[in-house]
Amino acid sequence: MKKTKKWLAIIPLTLLSVTLAGMPALTNPVHAAVTQSFSDVPAGHWAYDAVAKLAKAGIVDGYSDKTFQGNKTLSRYEMAFIVAKAMDKFEGADEDNKQLIDKLSSEFAAELNRLGARVAKVEAKTNTWIGGETRMRVVSDNPTPAGGKKLNGSDRFDFRQRIKFWGNINDDLAWTGRLVTNTSNKFGNAEYSSGSEISLDLMNVTAKNLFGLDSMRVGRSALDFYTNGIFGKAGNVDGVTLSKKLGDVNFKGWTGNIKSAGTNGDANQLTTGQLDVKLADNFNLKTGYYWADIKGTSTTYTPASGSNTEVFSGSGSLNTNVGSFKSSQGWTAGVTYKMGKYTLLGDYVSTTLNGAAGLPDNPKGWVVQLSNSKGPDVIFPAVNLVNPSKVGSDAWMVSYRSIDAGAIPGGAGAFDVTAVANTAQPYNIYLHGTDNVNVLYLAYQNVVAKNVIASLEYQDFKIKNRGLTDLTSNKLDKTYMMKIEFFY
């Protein structure tokens, strides 16, 4: 009976979920468009106390305590709107709160159904939303290679601004766009491009049920889907993503340009195919294959003018000063294992280098991560460890990765640019966080206020194959980061 009551409002819930996910950019909120056509919920009604308990548990938010303490009388419409928000989070509630949501949904079933009809009319006009993220960081490092340059002064302070737009074109088409500042925004650089330059790093359209596929995404997006996160990129990846559910197996494929084409017309094309299957309630497996028409090049050096000393003058895709290859392909596997409140994630890649010169032609790489995060099962920092709407929640993770030179195609390394360092030095861990390295990675996140996350991160980089470099030690750098992020 409870399940029946819960599903009485599934249609308005579906309609509400999109509206509640973001801030409408082209119209007023739903409640402003609806006249007060419902009678008041009388003072002392049990629903006030029930919703107050749900608010305390974080299941409904955006309402002050006075709303539920008899200081303000709500209409049945207003109460139904609150109940709909609670129902949208039903699966994440504990058993007691699920019973409260069931009881409330039964009490306001008629209003929820009427609300659904009204929301449907508003949704037909409201098809664009806006959101964003502001990030500020303080970073420090301790480079150890000969000639390593430590971050100093304002180089240790940076920021990032993202503004995201998204919406529905029709029932089967949706779109996304995002503006972002570049990756070198240092405080104090307002008069230079690194302090003001903005780019479009997301721009895509997603179609459902097209050509027998569940979905097809075309345009600029993030490389965010391959295994559990050893491959990845936050944006600026142009291509096509295909997805299809085949019984109990999910298929995803992607092809496109992982980075801008070279001066010689190099395609820099990456193509992937992946199968995702749940083998048990606490065990998931992803496996796939990739092809990369992306060259591998080493770091180069030139003698300083008037000196016999070599200085860094450029950076290749490899964290080496020797070797190259023409293209690569390989297979990957990713596992997710749940152990009570802990999650163990692992990724493995085995690559074959074509036209390898001065490099082992079968590099491999792996990463493991242990965390108490309740978020998506993706290796950090591809996603946050915490939900920014849950004030006071926190989570930690510890990971270790060991990746041979050339194991990941240049431009597809998920750990690149996750640690900040001076780029005017060889074997730079900012550009080469996923190549020829062994790295211990620690992170902690806390939701210090609603939609505000504070983070601490530490990475200890060591070179994996010193024979491919001119280093006298395997130590590269240690990086420290404190950041605060605002989501809206």
Asked whether 197 and 181 are in contact (CB, 8 A), the reply is yes
Choose the most confident range, by mean pLDDT, from 20-29, 112-121, 136-145.
136-145
Closest CA to 181 of 224, 239, 131, 135: 135
Peptide bond connecting 303 to the previous residue in cis, omega within 30 degrees of 0: no
Q: In this predicted model, what pLDDT tens digit does every residue of 353-405 receive, in sequence order? A: 999 999 999 999 999 999 999 988 999 998 999 999 889 999 999 999 999 99
**Nearest-angstrom CA–CA distance, 260 and 220:** 12
**Where does the pLDDT of residue 225 fall: very low under 50, low under 70, confident under 90, or very high at 90 and above?**
low
Asked whether 348 and 411 are in contact (CB, 8 A), the reply is no
Q: Cβ neighbours of residue 76 under 8 Å, at least 6 residues apart?
A: 38, 39, 40, 41, 108, 111
Closest CA to 270 of 406, 412, 431, 436: 412
Q: What is the mean pLDDT of residues 175-191?
A: 80
Each domain of the chain, given as residue ranges in start order, spans 2-123, 130-487
Q: Cβ neighbours of residue 246 under 8 Å, at least 6 residues apart?
A: none
**Nearest-angstrom CA–CA distance, 2 and 274:** 39
**Nearest-angstrom CA–CA distance, 76 and 86:** 15
The answer on pLDDT for 9 being more than 80 is no
Q: In this predicted model, what pLDDT tens digit does every residue of 275-300 receive, in sequence order? A: 999 999 999 999 999 999 999 999 76
**Nearest-angstrom CA–CA distance, 278 and 282:** 8
Residue 107 pLDDT: 84
Q: In this predicted model, what pLDDT tens digit does every residue of 81-139 receive, in sequence order? A: 888 888 878 777 888 888 888 888 878 877 777 776 555 555 555 578 899 999 999 99
Looking at per-residue pLDDT, the higher value among 276 and 43 belongs to 276
Task: Compute, in degrees rounded to 10, the torsion defined by CA atoms 179, 184, 185, 189.
Answer: -130
Whether CATH 3.40.50.300 fits 130-487: no
pTM, two decimal places: 0.75
Residue 476 pLDDT: 92
Q: How far is CA 476 from CA 43, 56, 260, 298, 479, in A?
A: 66, 47, 28, 17, 10
Tokens encoding 324:
């190259």
**Where does the pLDDT of residue 266 fall: very low under 50, low under 70, confident under 90, or very high at 90 and above?**
low
The interaxial angle of helices 46-56 and 95-107, nearest 10 deg, is 140
**Nearest-angstrom CA–CA distance, 209 and 217:** 11
Q: Which amino acid is at 18?
A: V
Tokens encoding 217:
């995404």
Does an H or E element contain 251, and which?
A: strand 249-257
Mean pLDDT of the chain: 82
Share above pLDDT 90 across residues of the chain, in percent, rounded to a whole number = 49
Write the DSSP assignment of 320-364 as a string of letters. Answer: SSS-EESEEEEEEEEEEEEETTEEEEEEEEEEEEET-BSS-SS-E
Choose the most confident range, by mean pLDDT, from 131-135, 142-146, 148-152.
131-135
Asked whether 483 and 435 are in contact (CB, 8 A), the reply is no
**Nearest-angstrom CA–CA distance, 363 and 449:** 44
User: Which residues on neighbouring strands pair with residue 255, listed in sequence order?
Assistant: 240, 271
Lowest-pLDDT range of 38-42, 198-202, 328-332:
38-42
**Where does the pLDDT of residue 57 fall: very low under 50, low under 70, confident under 90, or very high at 90 and above?**
confident
Count the alpha carbons within 13 Å of 251 in the hemisphere toward its beta carbon. 12
Q: What is the mean pLDDT of residues 176-185?
A: 84
Looking at per-residue pLDDT, the higher value among 78 and 393 belongs to 393
Count the alpha carbons within 13 Å of 454 in the hemisphere toward its beta carbon. 7
**Nearest-angstrom CA–CA distance, 67 and 61:** 11
Q: In this predicted model, what pLDDT tens digit does every residue of 426-446 receive, in sequence order? A: 788 988 999 999 999 999 999
Sign (positive or negative) of CA dihedral 88, 454, 487, 240 = negative
Lowest-pLDDT range of 243-257, 312-326, 359-373, 400-414:
312-326
Lowest-pLDDT range of 112-121, 164-173, 231-240, 377-386:
112-121
Cβ-based neighbour number of residue 374 at 10 Å: 14
**Where does the pLDDT of residue 6 fall: very low under 50, low under 70, confident under 90, or very high at 90 and above?**
very low
Closest CA to 468 of 306, 319, 344: 319
Residue 34 pLDDT: 36
Share above pLDDT 70 across residues of the chain, in percent, rounded to a whole number = 80
**Where does the pLDDT of residue 33 fall: very low under 50, low under 70, confident under 90, or very high at 90 and above?**
very low
Looking at per-residue pLDDT, the higher value among 6 and 293 belongs to 293
**Nearest-angstrom CA–CA distance, 480 and 444:** 12
